[in-house]
Amino acid sequence: MVMDNMLKSTIGVSNTEDLVIEALRDLVKDEIKKYVRQKIDENPEIKREMKEAVSDFLDAKMRETYAVIKLGKCVAELGIQIVPAEMREKLGKDVATLIEKEMSQVFEKM
């Protein structure tokens, strides 16, 4: 029992079966990836088209992210305009502090 608790806390899994199943899943996924890569490499047209599609997908995701950020900026500006003048300066400082904190957390994760 003590050994089991030590393994659980050290490895971070509930039991050995989970660890074996996870390892087998990873092996199966690796084999599937090899098979798919082989098929892609055998067909240069599909390989080229997939690269183009991935590029288009990433471009679209970046544009989506930019649009969401832009909308957030508009909402923040509108919110500041709605606030009474005597509260705007404090709100501006609070928003700047919040953004600085959030950006610091993003950069720490990178």
According to DSSP, residue 13 is labeled -
CA gap 55, 49 in Å, rounded = 10
The residue among 95, 91, 90, 52 whose CA lies nearest residue 73 is: 95
Write out the two tokens for 88: 């705007």
pLDDT band at 90 (very low <50, low <70, confident <90, very high): confident
Predicted TM-score (pTM) of this structure: 0.54
Task: Please tell me whether residue 12 adopts helix, strand or coil conformation.
Answer: coil
Is 20 a residue whose pLDDT tops 80? yes
Q: Longest C-alpha distance within the chain, in Å?
A: 68
